[in-house]
Chains A and B, each alone.
Chain A
Amino acid sequence: SYVLTQPPSVSVAPRQTATFTCGGDNIETKSVHWYQQKPGQAPVLVVYDDDDRPSGIPERFSGSNSGNTATLTISRVEAGDEADYFCQVWDSSSDHRLVFGGGTKLTVL
């Protein structure tokens, strides 16, 4: 089955840029979705189809996808961005094609 690899943690100071990676075999051929999950809350979709933002998500959130790595970028990080971030794709080799990454915890210093 298809595997998505995310680093366990990222730390960044306020107003700096946070970068989250999601590694997968030839992931650039897939549509990648990103979710933000704050402590005690449900996940929220922040980027879909590599680089589109749902209504209500700030422009500070952006995504890209190339080669074997998809990337979520948060510019001008705020304390309220502290959360876990998960990537997700659909892959024909996985159970019902759904794959989630293990998530990356963002700590705002």
Chain B
Amino acid sequence: QLQLQQSGPGLVKPSQNLSLTCTISGDSVANSDVVWNWIRQSPSRGLEWLGRTYYRSKWHTDYAVSVQGRITITTDTSKNQFSLQLDSVTPEDTGLYYCARRNTFMHDSFDVWGPGTPVTISS
């Protein structure tokens, strides 16, 4: 059964970098029929897509305009995981961070989500 397991700190100081990892079981990060995503949720912004990574003969990454320049998504095929790094965080980056699979066989819906990591940006 497909599961996404998230890891990473829940408290980060302003101006520091946020790093989260999503470990996949039951699928492959290199599966060419899916896209791996980071999405965050906050009361002020609702559900906000941050970025994605996917493999189509080679690796691709795309980022939301709102975090472009501060975000990096990487993959580790040996550990079957993908990671988010968000640089120079501010209190506005506080929220619940999810990794999620977008499934092309289900009309590009997000069919599997990680449990979420609550992240607080505070000194």
Residues of A within 8 A of B (CB): 31, 33, 35, 41-45, 48-49, 52, 54, 86, 88, 90, 95-96, 98, 100, 102-103
Question: How many positions in chain B have a CB within 8 Å of any CB in the partner chain?
Answer: 21
Q: How far is the CB of B37 from chain A (nearest CB, A)?
A: 9
- Which residues does chain A contribute within 8 Å of B14, judged by CB atoms? none
> Quick one: given A95-B65, A100-B46, are A48 and B109 in contact (CB under 8 Å)?
yes
In contact, A42 and B116 (Cβ under 8 angstroms): yes
Asked whether A100 lies within 8 Å of B47 as measured between CB atoms, the reply is: yes
Q: For residue A103, which residues in chain B have a CB less than 8 angstroms away from its CB?
A: 46-47
Q: Which residues of B contact A31 (CB under 8 A)?
A: 107-108
Binding site for A on B (CB under 8 A): 46-49, 52, 62, 64-66, 98, 100, 106-111, 113-116
Q: Taking CB as reference atom, which chain A residue is nearest B47?
A: A100
Q: How far is the CA of A44 from the CA of B100 in the complex (A)?
A: 10
In contact, A48 and B107 (Cβ under 8 angstroms): yes
Q: A33: which B residues are within 8 A, CB to CB? A: 107, 109-110
The reply to whether A88 and B46 contact each other, CB–CB distance below 8 Å, is: no
**Shortest CB distance B8–A (Å):** 15
